[in-house]
Structure 1
């Protein structure tokens, strides 16, 4: 096969995150609106190139007050920095259907490299459209303070309100 353009199926894809809360639990959320420019050959994924663009204002933690705070200048400052991007720079095979995808993550105009562990779930033919589809699951983490997301509060019992480590869980279905 050759490298071809593929499209994200938003109905079967998600970008989720989680962060420690009060050092004892986790807050989870998702970005509901994102797009991607994907060029790949399913026979050799190490030749792929991908760019994800996330609408920062589309974040949803299922709690409106918290979402409003996360969209404020204390965190994502969505009025001034409406997009979060990830652009791949290197993809290496890490065994059967497992890959390390390194790329540049940009949040609030700060760009830092991160590496995602990605599992290729395979390809199939959509019985409705007849298109070939492929699935991927990715996980990764980064330190939010590396991107200027510094807001926090000390707890009376010691520790802090919000953990620094952000964990990502990405499910992507694409079609050509």
Structure 2
């Protein structure tokens, strides 16, 4: 057997061994993950984040169509950079966190659109209102772990975030950009 053929067989066997060891991502590492948002207030760009969130997932990048994922954000963990704003945004006019402490996303379908690129479709529930949502997601392998990144623009009016005098968009814009970066691992 010539050297080239031996090398190809060895590489093929190695690739098959790696594929056999592939384990779906089963959990996120919160300390290495983030959920952030940005919006405009009186025409000025503002940023914030959520400090507490959790996910349940089973995601194999090679078998995206079999994935299962749900994600919960603790709305009381909001960090706008201002204690006064943090206190305001959890009130009944905004998140109504006393009655609806969590936002939840449940994936219905994940499909691969290009290498390491996916389209995620599911439902987002906030304040007891559920809407369909679709957004792009990117996967970056990091050894046995991975990083899932993406984002979407939501309309706060779709979830009655900002009621009464805040229902208009002259002070706080309707469009809220949400971004996520989730460090994933096969273990729980």
Q: TM-score, normalised by structure 1?
A: 0.87
Aligned equivalent of 1:73, options 80, 84, 92 = 92
Question: 77-86 vs 40-49, which deviates more?
Answer: 40-49
Q: Which runs of 4+ in 1 moved over 3 A?
A: 1-5
Larger Rg: 2
Whichever structure has more helix as a proportion of its residues is 2
Does the CA contact (< 8 Å) of 2:152 and 2:179 recur in 1? yes
Aligned equivalent of 1:167, options 170, 177, 188 = 177
Unaligned 5+ residue runs, structure 2?
Answer: 1-19
- Structure 2 Cα separation of the partners of residues 62 and 171 of structure 1: 20
Question: 165-174 vs 115-124, which deviates more?
Answer: 115-124
Q: Please state how far the C-alpha of 1:123 moved relative to its aligned partner.
A: 3.6
> Is 1:143 matched with 2:155?
yes
Q: TM-score, normalised by structure 2?
A: 0.81
Whichever structure has more strand as a proportion of its residues is 1
Q: In structure 2, the residue corresponding to 1:162 is in which secondary structure?
A: coil
Does the CA contact (< 8 Å) of 2:61 and 2:116 recur in 1? no
String of CA shifts for 1:146-176, please: whole Å, max 9, x gaps.
011133276xxxx700000110110000111
- Quote the residue 2:15 is aligned against: none
- Structure 2 Cα separation of the partners of residues 119 and 5 of structure 1: 14
Counting matched residue pairs gives 164
- Quote the residue 2:49 is aligned against: 30
Over aligned residue pairs, what C-alpha RMSD do you find? 1.7
